[in-house]
Amino acid sequence: MSGMAHDFVKNARVIIPERSPTNSMGYRYPIAEEYFGEDAKNQLDMLVKEGLMVREFYQRELGCPKCGSINLIVRFLCPKCGDTNIVKGEIIEHWTCGYVGAEDEFKEDKCPKCGKKLEKIDVDYGKLGPMYKCLSCGEVFHTPDDKLNCANCDYTFSKDEAEEVVLYAYRITPKLEEDLEATLYRKNYLIEKLSEMGFIVEPEENLYGRSELKHEFYIVASQGKGIFKVRIVIDLLSALHEVPADDVFLFYAKALDLGAYRIILVGIPKFSEEAKKLMNHHGIAYVETQTLQNSAEVTIRKLEEMTKATHVFREKQEM
């Protein structure tokens, strides 16, 4: 799991879709988009595959058979000519000349066809009740045809042709819930040990890089002053099988922007060979552990090794 995905599952318990007329598919996951951008749906499905989230039925919709969008518009059509230029209203039949039209066509009670005045209902004219009239072909009818039009691709189709689209909600698994609680406990344990070693843990709200972008890390701590000040960035990266080099590179770029002097990465369960080559090349300290439970302990051991090496370096400089 990438650092971004880790931050996401820390802050989101249940993710539900929202209707969105501006989205091509007609719905989106706004909370997930804060972390993953436009690729949010695919990233949520990836977390399901990794066993970190479960997918639950949320809602069933009609979708476009061509593009799958649920941004659909209902259009009423004339059953004779298929035009949408239809009006609904009280329909009058003028028995004298046989003209049939909407009530508002009979201006000043005069027939728009023959020009004669309507005299008395049920004598020279009758009201057929609320009906529709097509202004293109003149057809009068009780019920218009209805079709769906896709606002995304402009395809028009009948309800029978519509595709069934199931919208899902995403929920973190109980196991992940436990892991997050364990992460919080181990983070507090790690902060306590860092304090005992003379490190000062920096507040998350102050983690702005040289680019003026705000970054999120597992822990950032510093020790010493002036040219001997050591600023350490610690983070956890996890994956189903092995943490890829791309995740390490993205983390490294953020750490450099923050001005990190030392970096410790914990890989759960392990790093790929390409990731290890990248970390060795850039001097990134790393440890691997099969489970989250051991992450704090192995991090402390690595930190002690680094601190010891730093003390030896200082002693040589002072000689």
Q: Are 238 and 6 in contact (CB under 8 A)?
A: yes
Task: Please identify, in words, the CATH class of the domain defined by 176-318.
Answer: alpha beta
- What is the Cα–Cα distance from 143 to 79, expressed in whole angstroms? 8
215-224: per-residue pLDDT in tens? 888 889 887 7
d(CA 271, CA 241) in angstroms, rounded, equals 9
What residue spans define the domains of the chain?
3-64+162-172, 79-143, 176-318
- Average pLDDT over every residue of 176-205: 77
Write out the two tokens for 46: 């990836």
Taking the C-alpha atoms of residue 208 and residue 125, their distance in angstroms, rounded to an integer, is 81
* Digit-coded pLDDT (tens) for 215-265: 888 889 887 777 677 788 988 888 878 999 999 999 999 999 988 888 889
Q: Which pair of tokens denotes residue 300? A: 């402390």
**Predicted confidence (pLDDT) per residue in 130-164, tens digit:** 889 898 998 888 889 999 999 999 999 999 999 99
- What pLDDT shows up at residue 311? 46
Determine contact, residues 36/43, Cβ cutoff 8 Å: yes
Task: Render pLDDT for 9-22 as a digit per residue (tens, 0 to 9).
Answer: 555 678 899 999 88
| Residue-level pLDDT at 11 | 57
Q: Does pLDDT of 111 surpass 70?
A: yes
C-alpha 304/C-alpha 3 separation (Å) is 24
291 CB-contact burial (10 Å; exposed 0-12 / middle 13-18 / buried 19+): exposed
Average pLDDT, the chain: 83
